[in-house]
Amino acid sequence: MARNSRSRSLMLPFIIGIVSGITAKLVDVPYITADHPIFDDMMGRFGIWVWAAAIIAIRSRTAFLAAARSFVFFAGMLAAYYSYTVIVLNFFPGSQIILWSCIGMATPFCGFLIWHVRRKRYYADFIASLPFSIFFTEWYLTAFSAWNWSAKDKWLLFIVYVWFSVSLLAVLPTNRRRLFSLVYGAVISMILISLIQAGIIVNPYAQLLNV
């Protein structure tokens, strides 16, 4: 019975990953992204996947199960996305596959780490802030570096990241953790944005994801 329960617990994020990967590929077409760039910048960035993996990890019963469920989610998503790309579109983006596969290999550690926001430890506040720092940094750099975006698209992206943040806050264990995770996330984000704009560190949204 316990083995069946674990199997079902792993199967659900795997299926969600497959559906997410196919959805991401279906909206990544010129006639959609040209008119509505928000879909490309929402599905093709880190934020949505960090959000999904964080929710999955926090809602897991144990840290090791969080690591496993995070991994199978990304495995399903990447397998579906690039299988569609290779089989249906007859295109093999080798560098992107290698990049995202390497990122996917790191997801068990990330899931294991994020699960610890459930613990009553001060360091858990810092861990909980990490997804928010990604949300804030990514939104700012995406919205304000896209010179051809309309005000409507920028507001839509803002709403998307607010929704990511609010829904993630809802699964954090205490009001104190919610407050501190937002504060720390905002501070980390401002530091990262300053370092990127000063050219001290590379902008991953302009370089890393365009390999």
Least Cα distance to 165 among 190, 128, 140, 192 occurs for 128
Distance from C-alpha of 162 to C-alpha of 53, rounded to nearest angstrom: 17
So what's the pLDDT on residue 210?
Answer: 53
Residue the block writes with tokens 């093709």: 44
pLDDT one-digit tens code per residue, 74-127: 999 999 999 998 998 888 888 888 888 988 899 999 999 999 999 888 899 999
pLDDT one-digit tens code per residue, 171-197: 999 999 999 999 999 999 999 999 988
Please report, for the chain, the start and end positions of each structural domain, with discontinuous segments joined by +. 2-210
So what's the pLDDT on residue 147?
Answer: 63
CB 55 within 8 A of CB 114: no
pLDDT one-digit tens code per residue, 131-182: 999 999 988 888 776 666 777 778 888 899 999 999 999 999 999 999 999 9
The pLDDT of residue 37 is above 70:
no
So what's the pLDDT on residue 181?
Answer: 96
Residue the block writes with tokens 């790309």: 85
CB 54 within 8 A of CB 168: yes
DSSP secondary structure code for residue 88 in this structure = I
Side-chain-side CA neighbours of residue 154 (13 Å): 12
